Structure 1
Amino acid sequence: MREYLSLGTIGHNHLLAAGQRAFGLANGSGSSGPSGPLLTLGARLFAMAWAEFPLNAPLAAEIARLSKLFPASALTHQGVALARRLAAEGGGPESEEPNLLFEQGDFEGLTRFFERNAGRKPLLPLVRQAWQYQGLLSRWEWLEEFLRRSVAPRDPEVANLLLAEAQLAAGRYDRAATGLEKMARRYGPGAWGLRLAVARAEAGDADGAMGLLGELLADFPEHSTALLYLDSLAFPSALGGRLEGGCAVSIYSYDKARELERTLESVLDSDLGPELGEVTVRVLVNGSRDDSLAVAEEARERFGGTMDIVALPVNVGAPAARNWLLDAALRDGARWIAYLDDDVLVPRDWLSGLAAGVRDFPEAGVWGCRVADVRSPSLTQHGDGFLLWPEDAARAGRRLTLQEPCAECLVPPLLGYRRYAGSVTGCCHLFEAESLAASNGFDLAYSPSQFDDLDLDLRRLAQGKPVAYLGDVVITHLRESTHFLELSPSAAAQSRAHQSFLEERHAPQLEHMLRIQSGFVKADLEARRARLRAAGLLA
């Protein structure tokens, strides 16, 4: 269980899976085994999952049932009473219309549906759908108004519960802290305390946040996300450092002229100065049929540094383009290569953040970042990903599967930690060029695209080189999340084929990769715990 919890202790579905694992282990422990602590742990994890989405009526019913068998350590009596009420009142049928509107991308029609049906009975199924869909779209102001106008007169307890969460996600931290303080005190700090700590820290009360996190960890030492967040507050990473030996910022593009224009604008406006070392920019126009080449040439005229442009007559695919850029970087004598997709926006200090990652995580094989969504600012497309165990893959009908607990979290400040992980996305990542070449670069079997970056992460992991997730470096992906986009039939078929090939290749080494991943994750968490204790922030 400790290994599973070390991946993260956030995310409604991840916490549910963790709780189910604890109950499964308890059932298999036998009458003489340590089933009691596992059952208590399972109930705690269910309570934490429910606090992230209180309108999950079946889960609320299970929490109410479990509370009769043994104490619900993460919830107060009022918290259990709320779960019991929501189980009884929140399980009515849901309308299919919001599902269809969301699938069609008619988000304005979705809003009109909720406003038109605000008086519907029963209330809670409608509120559940509004929270799910409008929250996924980061429409927090609308949700606040909806809760005040349409929910509070009929169910003030639910309205206040969700209002504090909406204010936290919207960045209204002072108000959120006030509301979450009440929620934690009334329903249970073990379930609401982490988000209260975020609200306090972001509202300027870092000491209060760290004190609360210390209390959470004293009560639940395996709360890995609380540990990571506490460490990030106590020891914020110092951005900066040099990429000695030079860095080639490398972008490849195919038929995305407008996105490429925005990408280049953000990259060339970012800090690529001499304090980072010698930085060059290279753009490979990968057989584009639009005006991508002209866009790149116009950007070069505005750029004061070194920028190279290469135009290929055909699209050779992402893996080949990445390998060509790697060869070019090696020919130029660059020690580092930073790959960027042609549809991202980078912050001014992105390369400084990656350079700091090299300093802080020297054993990594790749350094990556958190990827935010262009449509929904609260949404994280990708962050720290981890291989799961064979039984988890089997339950998903696969031979190999990954988990990103962070992708379920709609509170971005909570994800600003840095850590070793199993995989990061390829939208923005940094490699040591010679080390990457020694791993044979990106595999052309994944042409024209999809899964070549994950395949490389796993090959490097098997070689003893994990990834470093740098959550304080945040790029915005101009391609919307798969929540909002549906792959074409051909792209979906290609994705399935590449995923099958990836599983076939790496499943035989899964246990080996899990040992390496777990070793780095465990050592990293233990080091953080030790320095927090030394600083007097942890018992």
Structure 2
Amino acid sequence: MPESPLSVLVAVCTLHRPQMLRRCLDSLCAQEGAPPLRILVVDNSPDAECRDMVAEHYPQAVYASEPRRGLSHARNKAVDEALRLGADWLAFIDDDEIARPDWIASYMAAMATHPAEIYHGPAVPIYPPDLPAWFRIRPPHDRELRYNAGSIATGNVLFSRGIVENLTFDPAFNRTGGEDLDFFCRAQDLGARVVWVPDAVVHEPVVPERTTLAFVLRNAYETGLGKALLRIHQGKRIHTLVRKGPQLLFRTVYGIFLALVAAPIAPFWPQRVGQFAAWKANRVCHAAGMLAGLLGYRARGQRPVEGY
């Protein structure tokens, strides 16, 4: 008898972005060359604000509400639903992303030739046309993807059932982010095999709010907080403070000094100096966040939602 096709459930965790969610769901409904997808929408708003929209426009999708605020809670709800529905594989895509028509087909092709427990692909940013000069030269969003579990993000990933049966996302990271990094590090500790699938592309339109210096620096600081929290959870707080503490402190102080030096000459070379200053400021905020986290500071407010 022929083998039954693998059951793939695609989960979209969403909060206060109904238009972006519809765009994402439309891209999932337009997948080509793959078995019919099962789609799950996890609504992280306390009042289940997108329930009616999903029921009206996407009746084939499963809707689940997770009123406890935080991505870890929402992702764990998706895991619970995937296990309840008997899915063999669970894919995550962010609600502000658009899947290429061959997204799932590319994953299925990789599964046939490279057995693994985790597959991940690129999230390609689409920037608005009116970027500031400092952002256009070297956008802070751009980063080289390293092919190991520690660099994977949950905006474009596919998990085997065996992985999500044994791991959950830690709610301690709800206010800083980093729950995906923590999850993948623990998966790697369990021996999970990870395969990079460059053809499994999703696109991420970048909203203007994320091209401001305030967002870039806040994001760098919170990323540092999240990485510090990860080190603490791994039992490496003292080790990291001893090994990296002086470096983080120096980077913070030196970056502030360079910013003060650059300020008077910035009007004469706004593009070059602006790009350099933004890059240094990003590193300063990341270092400051990691140092603050290692010293015991915890984020107290909820992370704002950008988008529409």
Please report the TM-score for the alignment, with normalisation by the length of structure 2. Answer: 0.63
The answer to whether the 8 Å contact 1:421/1:469 transfers is no
Partner of 1:435: 163
Aligned residues: 226
User: What is the CA deviation profile of residues 127-159 of structure 1, one whole-angstrom value per residue up to 9, with x for unaligned ones?
Assistant: xxxxxxxxxxxxxxxxxxxxxxxxxxxxxxxxx
Q: Distance in 1 between matches of 2:108 and 2:128?
A: 28
Matched, 1:370 2:131: no
Question: In the TM superposition, what is the alpha-carbon distance from 1:449 to its structure 2 partner?
Answer: 5.6
- After TM superposition, list the pairs within 5 Å mapping 1:139-538 onto structure 2: 244-271=5-32, 276=35, 279-287=37-45, 292-301=50-59, 306-312=60-66, 314-363=67-116, 365-375=117-127, 381=142, 384-385=145-146, 422-438=150-166, 440-448=167-175, 450-479=177-206, 484-485=211-212, 486-487=214-215, 494-506=222-234
The answer to whether the 8 Å contact 2:176/2:225 transfers is no
Q: Distance in 2 between matches of 1:326 and 1:290?
A: 19
> What code does the residue aligned with 1:283 have?
V
The answer to whether the 8 Å contact 2:120/2:197 transfers is yes
> What code does the residue aligned with 2:119 have?
W
Q: Structure 1 unaligned runs (5+)?
A: 1-241, 387-419, 511-539
SS in 2 for 1:337: strand
Are residues 446 and 324 of structure 1, via their aligned partners in 2, closer, same or farther at CA, if it must alter by over 3 Å? Answer: same
User: What is the CA deviation profile of residues 373-399 of structure 1, one whole-angstrom value per residue up to 9, with x for unaligned ones?
Assistant: 12179988466325xxxxxxxxxxxxx
The answer to whether the 8 Å contact 1:253/1:286 transfers is yes
Query: Between the two proteins, what is the percent identity of the paired residues?
Result: 21
Q: Distance in 2 between matches of 1:243 and 1:478?
A: 36
Q: Distance in 2 between matches of 1:350 and 1:320?
A: 26
Higher gyration radius (CA)? 1
Partner of 1:70: none
> What code does the residue aligned with 2:86 have?
G
Q: Which has the higher contact order (CA 8 A, sep 6+)?
A: 2
Q: Distance in 2 between matches of 1:472 and 1:376?
A: 24
- After TM superposition, list the pairs within 5 Å mapping 1:7-22 onto structure 2: none
The answer to whether the 8 Å contact 1:264/1:299 transfers is no
The answer to whether the 8 Å contact 1:260/1:295 transfers is no
Q: Distance in 1 between matches of 2:174 and 2:144?
A: 24
The answer to whether the 8 Å contact 1:374/1:480 transfers is no
The answer to whether the 8 Å contact 1:283/1:309 transfers is yes
Question: In the TM superposition, what is the alpha-carbon distance from 1:495 to its structure 2 partner?
Answer: 3.5
Are residues 469 and 253 of structure 1, via their aligned partners in 2, closer, same or farther at CA, if it must alter by over 3 Å? Answer: same
Structure that is richer in helix per residue:
1
Question: In the TM superposition, what is the alpha-carbon distance from 1:284 to its structure 2 partner?
Answer: 1.1
Q: Distance in 2 between matches of 1:367 and 1:502?
A: 22
SS in 1 for 2:200: strand
Are residues 494 and 357 of structure 1, via their aligned partners in 2, closer, same or farther at CA, if it must alter by over 3 Å? Answer: same
SS in 1 for 2:151: coil
Are residues 298 and 371 of structure 1, via their aligned partners in 2, closer, same or farther at CA, if it must alter by over 3 Å? Answer: same
Are residues 448 and 421 of structure 1, via their aligned partners in 2, closer, same or farther at CA, if it must alter by over 3 Å? Answer: closer
Are residues 287 and 376 of structure 1, via their aligned partners in 2, closer, same or farther at CA, if it must alter by over 3 Å? Answer: closer
CA RMSD of aligned residues (A): 3.4
> What code does the residue aligned with 2:151 have?
S
Are residues 484 and 497 of structure 1, via their aligned partners in 2, closer, same or farther at CA, if it must alter by over 3 Å? Answer: same
Q: Distance in 1 between matches of 2:48 and 2:171?
A: 25
Are residues 481 and 474 of structure 1, via their aligned partners in 2, closer, same or farther at CA, if it must alter by over 3 Å? Answer: farther
SS in 2 for 1:500: helix
Please report the TM-score for the alignment, with normalisation by the length of structure 1. Answer: 0.37
Are residues 452 and 462 of structure 1, via their aligned partners in 2, closer, same or farther at CA, if it must alter by over 3 Å? Answer: same
User: What is the CA deviation profile of residues 337-383 of structure 1, one whole-angstrom value per residue up to 9, with x for unaligned ones?
Assistant: 111111100111101111122223313x3211111112179988466
> What code does the residue aligned with 1:475 have?
V
Q: Distance in 2 between matches of 1:502 and 1:332?
A: 31
Question: In the TM superposition, what is the alpha-carbon distance from 1:255 to its structure 2 partner?
Answer: 0.8
The answer to whether the 8 Å contact 1:246/1:335 transfers is yes
Partner of 2:303: none
Q: Distance in 2 between matches of 1:319 and 1:476?
A: 23
